Amino acid sequence: MSTDGDDDPTVPIVCEECDTRTRVPLSALADQLERHNETRHDGEDVAGVDPALADQIADLVVEDMGLLDEE
């Protein structure tokens, strides 16, 4: 949760190449990642959402969509 009173949740982003970790508002996530990768890594997708969070989100989506349900 953001500390400035804003209700926009923050998302952890990681760049192993730069050895940086930060949190950004969800509404700014795509722009922040694109800007970092463009300015620091010549447009390569190096920085991204923390892999642990990305895995959790993927698991929730799979469960919610019932993709593992046997018929």
Per-residue pLDDT for 7 more than 50?
A: yes
Q: What is the pTM of this model?
A: 0.71
Q: Using DSSP, state whether 12 is helix, strand or coil.
A: strand
Q: Give pLDDT tens digits for 14-63.
A: 999 999 999 999 999 999 999 999 999 999 999 999 999 989 988 998 98
Which residues are CB-contacts of 41 (< 8 A; sequence separation ≥ 6)?
A: 17, 47
Q: How confident is the model at residue 67 (pLDDT cuts 50, 70, 90)?
A: confident
Amino acid at 47: A
Stated as kind and residue range, the H or E segment containing 35 is: helix 29-41
